[in-house]
Structure 1
Amino acid sequence: MADIQILSPPNKKVKENIATEMVKRSSIQETYERVQSAIRIVSLVVFVGGRLLINTFPVILIAVLGCVYLHIAKKSNGSNMDSCDGKKHEATIWKRPVFVKGPLGIVSGTEIAFLVMFIALLIWSYAIYLQTGFATITPKSAAAARTNISVMKLRTAARRLGLVGNIGLGFLFFPVARGSSLLPLLGLTSENSIKYHIWLGHIVMIICTSHGLLYIIYWAITNQISEMLEWSKDGISNVAGELSLIFGLFMWIASIQRIRRKMFELFFYTHNLYILFIIFFIFHIGIPFACIMLPGFYLFLVDRYLRFLQSRQQVRLISARVLPCETVELNFSKGHDRLGVSVEGPYGPASTNYLRQDTLVLISGGSGITPFISIIREFIFLSTELKCKTPKIILICVFRKSSSLSMIDLILPISTIPYDISDLRLQIEAYITKDKEPQLNNQTYLQTKWFKPNPTDAPIYAILGSNSWLWLGTIISSSFIIFLIIIGILIRYYIFPIENDPNDTFSNPLKSFLHMLIICGSIVMVASIAFLLNKKHNAKEDKKIQDMEELLSEINGSSVGVLAAGPKKMRQEIATICSSGLAKNLHFDSISFSW
């Protein structure tokens, strides 16, 4: 008969020890899980946020600091404007044109040097990418992939070429951010920078097209042509890349010089496909790799939205002059009865930059005289109003027909007060290339048309007012900080819980879409607020009554008689100003029409 052992229940002390040990184990396990979760969060933030900050933050910081620097320089130049002394400088060898013909156009030695260095950067990057990629290709890895080494090298070469194209794309949008602070910091203007955008566009499209063709060849060799229809949820999207390349090819073809000149509207509207090009490009590679091109595109987005806001409001058109050559000059206030006009800009440098030269030679062909008219008008103002010493101006203009000579009449602006330009050293030489003799029959003369202003139209203002650089720096920094805060919260409380689930993955296209949405939303919100505040300020300035004390204090003279006639309150205020002692040269006398 077996022994039956009856176990007595544990006593109270044993129960307490077991409970204590379980509490210790659960607390340790909970701490371990928290640490593990924190490590996952940090790794996710470092992977996404680290790339974002490393690639984007330095450029954003330089742009913001550049805005502050340009604001200080603008105020400094404004305070020294009365002296009108331009520093003379000599043209260096590097700034002189080296090539004047060819596919690059007119380029200087500095531009050639930077172009060569940029191409060298791309070649060096591609060589490094190939070296690291080919190092992992061995007979063993080829056998595991059931292919040969040459095919694997072809795939590596195609993929690394895409990485090089991403580097080129990172520079593509800097030259076309017209209001960016980076261009003036480098001594560039938006007009001069267009050719850099063209060069970069050709380079990027050559690389991206080669990248796509190599992948198509690889898929055809390996019988994986169906890969062209794949849109991966957690990897590279081939369909998005193909769509991006197609939109890029449309823009590239429309930008050919012959097509652009004959069908400019086709070129202009086709170039708006850059929006779809960038969207599908980000869907193709994902946000982590898109951070390389984000800085330039971010600054371009800020600038483009501000220009969009400015062009949506109609400006006040005062008059127009119609020349015999059918050229029309429009004069705006700084509303044919209702001619709707929207304006962007200005973007070019102030003509006072040319004060540093002793002589200016302006050579124009046809309508190319237009920018020179603005420059000469600025010099007329400086010499007549500010009594500044201006350089000698030699205007050499070439026209096809003699009727186009009337464009020279536009040098003098429309004004009820005649301009005395005797102090302006201006020499004009005009040449006709087509007409053998003047057309005397059916002559038409210059016509000036004045318009009735529309109360809803506004004068032309700088989009962000007089402190535009400070406002631009505020918009860039504030929108970027808002973007970082919102995307950080989104990653922590929405993306990370899904990424942390081993049975689920967060969609890469959705992640890219959320990043793009937040970037655009933060820029639109901050830029719109800044635009509305400046618009409100400009409206107040238009309705602002002139300060009489400021007007009287600016009058020079040893003895100035001030006669006041009008309402009693106005005469009292003027008498108070004259008797305040701030301006000892003012002598008040009141004229009253009431007894």
Structure 2
Amino acid sequence: MAENNHSVHSPLLSEDHHQQNDYSKTTSFFVLATKFTLKSLIWVIFILWIALIFMYPSHIGSSLVEKCIDATIGTPFGRTGSMFLVFSAPLLIIAFLAILLLIVTGDDKLEGKKDSKRPTFRLWTFPVLVDGPFGVVSATEMIGIVLFSAYVIWAIYNYTLGALSLISDQPEFKMKCILMLYVLGVRLGLIGLFCLGFLFLPISRGSVLLRLTDIPFEHAAKYHVWLGHLTMVLFTLHGLFFVVAWAIEGRLIQELIAWADVGFANLPGVISLLAGLLMWVTSFSPVRRWNFELFFYTHQLYVIFVVFLALHVGDFIFTMCAGGIFLFVLDRFLRFCQSRRTVNVVSAKCLPCGNVELVLSKPANLRYNALSFIFLQIREISWLQWHPFSVSSSPMDGKHHIAVLIKVLGKWTEKLKEKIMKQPLVEVSVEGPYGHEVPYHLMYENLILVAGGIGLSPFIAILSDILHRVKEGKPCSPKNILLVWAVKKSDELPLLSSIDMEAICPFLSDKLKIDVHIYVTRESQPSLEEGCVYRPIKSSLRPVPSACPISVLVGTGDNVWSGLYVISSTVGFVILLGFLEIFYIKPFGVEKWWYKGLLFVACMVAGVIIFGGIVIGLWHVWEKLNYSREKVDDDTKAKEVVDQQNNINGNTPKDPSQGNLAKSIIAHYGSRPDFKEIFGGIAQKWGHVDVGVLVCGPPTLEVSVAQEIRSHTIARQRHHPIFHFNSHSFDL
């Protein structure tokens, strides 16, 4: 009878199992097809948009744009809406598609991105330039620089030919010069507007476009610097050409203070250019190093720069760069809302090496990875200063806290240390976490981590993340890790002891090979009191949820909510622009260019604050409800967790190989890392594999590593590894 029952039910169970497999395969196929479709659409729109911008300086390109404008000019938005549709709407459409792609991808970001068995050369990890005005530049970045340079040269060439044809009919040489200056001045300003449209994209810290391309803000910041220099060169030449032309005509002062209602308003342009020049001059490296606060405060003039630019050119010309600026406004308002909350510091202490460790409270659903960083503000020290710090904890260290290590270097960090010594419990404002969308340190089987000083901080998080994943059997590629750490003095060595690797992952030596080489550059021998270099510090900290955790209103937060915020703000902006055109501009016959430019900017800001603000308010309510449920669940489970930990601590077998890690830590005194020797030894030892190299430290260290990787890649033999350069250094 039992056999009959078994024989009867087995086919049913088997059929159900097959149905589940079929459903899983169908779902997987649907997800893959959706991702492929979205990526294809993004690429098609991006290529067509870039091609249009690139062709615009030519007669064919300008004619094509005019045809597109004429085809859509009958809408209630008029010429302004048509210009916006051609030059800015494609960027916003790409942002919408990127949101859908991130939602579909979900948390499976490592799928299809794992290290391949066959070593491959990658343009984005090969340093082409290593020591120059651009810093370390990968092959992919070099291609971008060449394309931007080619566009500017191509545009200037076409506009110069057009100007020469215009002045050919002028009989007087003086008039030819003046007309040439006018025409080229206008065209250089037009090229500058296109560059300005890209300028704000890299500094939108939580931008969906940065997440789509997996470019973290610390890398994107240098793109902003490059574009800033190019944009200001073009705008400066634009203004200079007009100034020279007006001076030749003998009406310089009159033109500088002119504020025309129809056409370009000169005075707002002068104000915008002066604001831009102040930001530009104070952004150069010598000024930043001499007085960072001067650079930081002067850079807030970007509001004056953008608003008066809109007053200068009017609404329909401003639309050429409006897409990138609108995405920045979206990001800036979201960051403003997030940073209004003060966050509880669960633990604040000064380490023996002189560094400061802050442990902040966070909700369990706040996502980040070991390569993330956050911006901190302490209002008791400064209301305006925000400082970036790499995260020193893994997301798997605990779901209710996030930690940072801070090296005491300047006035702000000195005041922070003094405050902690007097009053350990402080309140901070937080922006972030930001960083890579994909934790690329998990994609290499072989890793070399190169740190300088406090640059060890993110590598502590990386090691902890890898160890937790190995222990719990989660997706994790690394098998061999070499940590190279350069410090000035041995009093910094206790920093390494802030992570107890063998406690995180027992039987570590059976699953992962970790070698640590420490270089103490300014001491010839260890001090007598030093003894063992690595002494794991047992932490008694057990962070719990608090009333004031970090807000989840960030770019890496909930994809659905952030998507609703972007879409609602954009729709709101378009609605306000339409209402303005229908109920105010046309009925009252508003023709002033500068006034319409101001109204356009006001609609952008109002769309974000009003329509986006409603979504943020609902998002905040959802966050509070979710956190309340989370806190109740944690309170009910707290006793069970403690009992489980006690049982584990009492019954976990000891690893007979404990102590092997300390033997793999070698300290070198009075010398610096010889990267030629280090990479040469790795090449012989690891063979023909992919090796991910992560660098975090001063620019000189980054340059040395990049130079050696470039040399090795150029001269490498077939049986040697391919080294992939990745930088985690941050420089505003």
- TM-score bracket relative to the smaller structure: 0.7 to 0.9
Match of 1:521 among 606, 630, 635: 606
Instruction: State the TM-score, normalized to the length of structure 1.
Output: 0.76
1:220 pairs with 2:311: no
Amino acid aligned to 2:345: L
- In 1, the alpha carbon distance for the partners of 2:597 and 2:359 equals 46
1:115 pairs with 2:205: no
1:223–1:431 CA distance, 2 compared to 1 (3 A):
same
Counterpart of 1:396 in structure 2 is 484
- In 2, the alpha carbon distance for the partners of 1:371 and 1:88 equals 27
Counterpart of 1:291 in structure 2 is 319
Once the 2 structures are TM-superposed, how far is the Cα of residue 49 of structure 1 from its aligned partner?
Answer: 1.0
CA contact (8 A) 2:313 2:594 kept: no
1:506 pairs with 2:538: no
- In 2, the alpha carbon distance for the partners of 1:73 and 1:452 equals 31
1:514–1:375 CA distance, 2 compared to 1 (3 A):
same
- In 1, the alpha carbon distance for the partners of 2:540 and 2:354 equals 14
Q: Between the two proteins, what is the percent identity of the paired residues?
A: 32
Once the 2 structures are TM-superposed, how far is the Cα of residue 133 of structure 1 from its aligned partner?
Answer: 3.9
Once the 2 structures are TM-superposed, how far is the Cα of residue 539 of structure 1 from its aligned partner?
Answer: 2.1
Counterpart of 1:271 in structure 2 is 299
- Which SS does the other structure have where 2:347 is aligned? strand
CA contact (8 A) 2:282 2:288 kept: yes
Once the 2 structures are TM-superposed, how far is the Cα of residue 523 of structure 1 from its aligned partner?
Answer: 0.6
- In 1, the alpha carbon distance for the partners of 2:145 and 2:556 equals 36
- In 1, the alpha carbon distance for the partners of 2:315 and 2:184 equals 22
- In 2, the alpha carbon distance for the partners of 1:90 and 1:523 equals 46
Once the 2 structures are TM-superposed, how far is the Cα of residue 324 of structure 1 from its aligned partner?
Answer: 2.2
Moved more, 387-396 or 376-385: 387-396
Counterpart of 1:356 in structure 2 is 443
Once the 2 structures are TM-superposed, how far is the Cα of residue 454 of structure 1 from its aligned partner?
Answer: 10
Structure 2 residues not aligned, in runs of 5+: 1-70, 363-400, 402-422, 639-732
1:549–1:452 CA distance, 2 compared to 1 (3 A):
closer
Counterpart of 1:261 in structure 2 is 289
Moved more, 505-514 or 289-298: 505-514
Once the 2 structures are TM-superposed, how far is the Cα of residue 331 of structure 1 from its aligned partner?
Answer: 1.2
- Which SS does the other structure have where 2:207 is aligned? coil
Structure 1 residues not aligned, in runs of 5+: 1-38, 500-504, 552-595
Deviations, residues 474-524 of structure 1 (Å, cap 9, x unaligned): 22222122211221121122111333xxxxx53222212211112111111
> What pairs with 1:103-502 in structure 2 (closer than 5 Å)?
103-139=133-169, 148-225=175-252, 226-334=254-362, 336-349=423-436, 352-386=439-473, 389-391=476-478, 392-412=480-500, 420=506, 422=508, 423-438=511-526, 456-459=547-550, 461=552, 463=554, 467-468=558-559, 470-499=560-589
- In 2, the alpha carbon distance for the partners of 1:186 and 1:249 equals 31
- In 2, the alpha carbon distance for the partners of 1:252 and 1:88 equals 47
1:98–1:481 CA distance, 2 compared to 1 (3 A):
same
CA contact (8 A) 1:316 1:454 kept: no
CA contact (8 A) 1:88 1:356 kept: no
What is the root-mean-square deviation in Å for CA atoms of aligned residues? 3.4
- In 1, the alpha carbon distance for the partners of 2:540 and 2:244 equals 64
- In 1, the alpha carbon distance for the partners of 2:255 and 2:186 equals 14
Once the 2 structures are TM-superposed, how far is the Cα of residue 57 of structure 1 from its aligned partner?
Answer: 1.4
- Which SS does the other structure have where 1:198 is aligned? helix
- In 2, the alpha carbon distance for the partners of 1:42 and 1:194 equals 40
The count of aligned residue pairs is 498
Instruction: State the TM-score, normalized to the length of structure 2.
Output: 0.62
- Which SS does the other structure have where 2:431 is aligned? coil
Deviations, residues 525-559 of structure 1 (Å, cap 9, x unaligned): 233333332322232223224399999xxxxxxxx
Once the 2 structures are TM-superposed, how far is the Cα of residue 132 of structure 1 from its aligned partner?
Answer: 3.2
- In 2, the alpha carbon distance for the partners of 1:528 and 1:448 equals 41
- In 1, the alpha carbon distance for the partners of 2:142 and 2:523 equals 40
CA contact (8 A) 2:433 2:554 kept: no
Amino acid aligned to 1:519: M
> What pairs with 1:87-102 in structure 2 (closer than 5 Å)?
87=116, 90-92=119-121, 94-95=123-124, 96-102=126-132
- In 1, the alpha carbon distance for the partners of 2:246 and 2:146 equals 34
Once the 2 structures are TM-superposed, how far is the Cα of residue 213 of structure 1 from its aligned partner?
Answer: 1.2
CA contact (8 A) 1:229 1:239 kept: yes
Match of 1:45 among 77, 85, 97: 77
Amino acid aligned to 1:319: S
- In 1, the alpha carbon distance for the partners of 2:595 and 2:628 equals 49
- Which SS does the other structure have where 2:582 is aligned? helix
Amino acid aligned to 1:108: S
CA contact (8 A) 1:337 1:451 kept: no
1:63 pairs with 2:110: no
1:448–1:233 CA distance, 2 compared to 1 (3 A):
farther
1:533 pairs with 2:618: yes
- Which SS does the other structure have where 1:148 is aligned? helix
CA contact (8 A) 2:214 2:438 kept: no
- In 2, the alpha carbon distance for the partners of 1:93 and 1:386 equals 28
1:508–1:339 CA distance, 2 compared to 1 (3 A):
same
- In 2, the alpha carbon distance for the partners of 1:43 and 1:321 equals 62
Which has the greater radius of gyration? 1
Once the 2 structures are TM-superposed, how far is the Cα of residue 459 of structure 1 from its aligned partner?
Answer: 4.4
